[in-house]
Amino acid sequence: MKFAEKIVVITGAAAGIGKETVKAFANEGANVVLVDLHEEALQATAKELQLKEGQYLLVQADVSQEAQVQRYVALAKEQFGRIDVFFNNAGVEGVVQPITNYPSESLDLVIDVNIKGVFYGLKHVLRVMQEQKSGSIINMSSIAGLKGSPNVSAYIASKHAVVGLTKATAIEAAAFGVRVNAVNPSPVNTRMMRSLEAGFAPEHAEQVKEQLTATIPLGRYGESDDVANAVLYLASEQANFITGVIFPIDGGLSAT
């Protein structure tokens, strides 16, 4: 998809969908900036994926802190001179509780990471892309940004917010030749889903997975590479007339 020598910044890059997307872009010849909260996990990811020296940059950062977002953007530009693609991926699930029992500390964490982290990433990466008059941003939303679900109200609210941020920013960015889209996966086989399954029924997590799978018309959870492939498409020149799109990757779930 012509990513050779392109500069790609990915948050939440050390695990799950983020790590799979790093792998996909690196395999296409891109230079990748891996951003994550955990330094050791970043080092392990670079080693596991056999990233080549000079092809990557690791930045430990808490995306909920604006100064740390500014830092990873500045380091990416300092190292590589530009940012061509931004996968605004980092997120947390929060706890599984009815809204009447939902703890304020978990609400604060979900809002800080899933909304503020996405907002700050858009704010500071878009400044670089506006200056260079090109770029593609893909925000990580979720099927939870399109539908309701009980006992995860903070997560649902945060992913609906990402949909709104995507649409608003796409309109603002268009005049600068920058595209902004969102991906909205259904359940994907990652640590986050294991956490949510256990949260819904600690003693019956496997049954929860079976029940969720039964709601998906294609009859399975997504895999991280299903999402990574969609991110690469939206980032590519093949999607150069696509912006402001909310893109379900859900095996048909949003059609039900």
Domains located in the chain, CATH noted: 7-188+223-255 (3.40.50.720)
Write out the two tokens for 147: 């539908």
pLDDT over 70 percentage in the chain: 100
pLDDT of residue 30: 98
Tens of pLDDT, residues 149-174: 999 999 999 999 999 999 999 999 99
Tens digits of per-residue pLDDT, 90-138? 999 999 999 999 999 999 999 999 999 999 999 999 999 999 999 999 9
Q: Could you give the CA distance from residue 186 to residue 101 in angstroms, rounded to a whole number? A: 25
Under 8 Å between Cβ of 180 and 169: yes
What pLDDT is attached to residue 243?
98
What is the value of pTM for the model shown? 0.95
Distance CA 149, CA 187 (A): 13
Edge-to-edge strand order for the sheet containing 135-140?
56-60, 31-36, 7-11, 85-88, 135-140, 178-185, 246-249
Per-residue pLDDT at 79 exceeds 80: yes
Residues carrying an active site annotation: 155
Distances (CA, A) of 152 to 98, 101, 157, 215: 7, 11, 9, 18
State how far the Cα of 126 lies from the Cα of 233, in Å rounded to an integer: 20
pLDDT, position 249: 97
On whether the CB atoms of residues 21 and 227 are closer than 8 A, the answer is yes
